[in-house]
Structure 1
């Protein structure tokens, strides 16, 4: 789409920099978006109860709807069709034909992408992790068979279906990097599933930010086997919005206030209300604090950590705060940490912000974030915005070609290694 990328009042030299990125951009957050009509075909009969939940409970007329009347990804790939596809959900070109997605990436100028799931990965995890959320209630109400598995058992089966899809998709092309989701309630089970994914070509694992590992802190030495496996195999450990639900087990209670009513007209990974959005990153801040202060990055310097759609404005203040706490407890940390917390974050962590965030302001306030921030499209989700690649470029280009190169290309190499 080179001719469409020149926009927003850029001068000739800026446009030249943008054009040179074409074909090299790393997309650290994109999604499959299969409509409910093809879920059984793509993921197997185990997910059939979800088809009923979504087709009966979700409007066909809202953005990101999975109940739309479409069962073929038939549109031809072109700059115009992609331009119409930003935020178009299941109607987007390449939304659920992964061979066609490669063509979409060619036109966008994207070299490769981390490819997250939608319903199976996120709602499957949420049902398996806690139960009692909105989708679980809908699932149980839709059931008319006493032999139906519990919501948690069903969620586990749905997650396996997603992870099996990851294996199939990873075999299509190395440019597609599907992200499997691994529950961590049981360490041995987490290790087994992570190893199954790695052995079958999956190079990125999503870990729930709201749950500890085997009932212990992620930093507990008993859990080092998981970090060692990921580190040794150069497999990215990723945290994506939606994986935080267990952090607030009484989900509906915390949002039970008039100003926190969810906007259910725009289906997304999590409820869209001000409270849920403003607090979703607390789980990943808590998790990252455990990894940093618990010396996990010290013990495993090659551990590759990515954080997607949890916003990014909290990262600089957190790094600053952790530096201060390590200084306050310097006697305890002198023999445990050889770097400042902010340096571990700079080395080991990459963050993909939302499209609407003022990334330029973050870079002004916390320059180290130029080594951490990555671009992402969220394609074809509605909340991804309109042409977020160009939008990110326009926010960071005033910091110079080196920062542009980092944000759109080289920073992502850490979590998307060759």
Structure 2
């Protein structure tokens, strides 16, 4: 394969360099708050004292096995094309690390507990919005100054009006950004994603040929209570927990709830019917849930609600998933089993490195190539190349 596509990677500048990359004002504000993130983000740490530059040599060992801010091009995205050459990757989406921190501040009601700050002294939402704007400025600058093979993702805040969402998206597209992400945990503009009032946003993304994505770390606060895992020893976050994901059994097996909710409303509410060219990605939220979701949606749409959905859907729900939606499995998931069990969804599963985050695993390409050795014919080409084209169009 000579055209491997990677639909999930990250920048990973430590907070000590945030001023250099994202602006001295935001760095000063973060420093004043005094976030307790040294101990809370044990893996993918936001703070790496002593790291002052992106100088690690680009080798097979460093690009496939080294994780964190010291990995080559974790900080300086101008080096990323050389990293892609070493990895044998043609194009790559680059999601935020700094920007995910910002989105947690904006959208997670428990952000103060997870990031460690006094909500009575600090307006986390205001600081988060400022940081999102700084990320988007950085993404636009990288887009202008780096190869089109490297595509930073812009963040659209949705706790606002539809018109403002469209304005944000248009501003980023006009600055060259070729992919967008929205928070998964809040109804956009206070409405169902399938509400026709949201159509101007979906229409803009579809007509601009720009994918809309959701990503791990934007699902905090989706459930009305965070008590489901509290006080249970086996659900205590592990030493590998990150700002995106407090790794423990309960959270790991429920991270897809938010994505299922959003995508179900979009499919059954006719978003992909009204906007057939809309490109949508659910990133780093596992992939084993997609097949059962498709079966469930088809069952209800073709049975109990056939007459109600007549005039809203012209295809089976699973066909919209296959045409419009892409998801990324973790490197340890049984991806060949998904291709075998759900052949009608063979277009949905995409390769991602999560570079240089630890959740991406080491030698992920080799591991997943081996896992697909017994998959149906053509699955490997779909997984590594053609499926990702929906989110990384040429």
**TM-score range with shorter-chain normalisation?**
over 0.9
| Contact kept? 1:355, 1:388, Cα under 8 Å | yes
CA contact (8 A) 1:396 1:404 kept: yes
Matched, 1:303 2:278: yes
1:256 to 230, 247, 253: 230
Residue 246 (structure 1) shift: 3.3
Distance 2:241 2:135 in 1: 23
Partners of 1:140 and 1:151 within 8 A in 2: no
Query: For 2:136 and 2:114, how far apart are their aligned partners in 1?
Result: 20
Deviations 1:368-395 (A, max 9, x none): 2321101000010011101111222111
Deviation at 1:135, TM superposition (A): 5.6
Which structure's residues are more often helix, by fraction? 1
Q: Distance in 1 between matches of 2:106 and 2:274?
A: 31
Q: CA deviation at 1:83?
A: 4.0
Consecutive aligned runs of 4 or more in structure 1 exceeding 6 Å deviation: 52-55
Contact 2:35 2:115 in 1 (8 A): no
Cα displacement (A) at 1:226: 0.5
User: Which residue of structure 2 lines up, in the alignment, with residue 158 of structure 1?
Assistant: 131
Deviations 1:169-224 (A, max 9, x none): 11112111111111212122211111111110111111111111221100000110
Q: CA deviation at 1:121?
A: 1.6
Helix, strand or coil for the counterpart of 1:90? coil
Counterpart-to-counterpart distance in 2, 1:273 and 1:325: 32
Shift of 1:409: 0.6
Distance 2:65 2:363 in 1: 10
The answer for the alignment partner of 1:318 in structure 2 is: 293
- Contact 2:109-2:221 within 8 A present in 1 as well: no
- Aligned 8 A contact 2:40 2:243 in 1: no
Equivalent pair of 2:38/2:47 in contact (CA under 8 Å):
yes
1:32-84 residue CA offsets vs partner (Å, 9 max, x unmatched): 01012101111112133435668854159954223222010112212233244
1:223 aligns with 2:203: no
The answer to whether the 8 Å contact 1:28/1:375 transfers is yes
Separation in structure 2 between the aligned mates of residue 77 and residue 94 of structure 1, nearest angstrom = 9
Q: Is it true that 1:237 corresponds to 2:212 in the alignment?
A: yes
Q: Closer, same or farther in 2 for the Cα pair 1:400/1:361, shift >3 Å?
A: closer
Of the candidates 255, 268, 272, which is equivalent to residue 247 of structure 2?
Answer: 272
Task: Report the Cα offset of residue 265 of structure 1.
Answer: 4.9
Relative to 1, partners in 2 of residues 1:364 and 1:54: Cα closer, same or farther, differing over 3 Å? farther
Instruction: Give the alignment's Cα RMSD to 1 decimal.
Output: 2.1
* Residue-pair matches, total: 388
Distance 1:177 1:334, change over 3 A: same
Residue in structure 1 matched with residue 12 of structure 2 by the alignment: 33
Provide structure 2 residue ranges, at least 5 long, that are not aligned to the other structure: none
Give 1:169's match in structure 2, choosing from 137, 142, 152.
142
Identify the residue that residue 113 of structure 1 maps to in structure 2.
92
**Would you say 1:340 and 2:319 are equivalent positions?**
no
> Counterpart in 1 of 2:343?
367
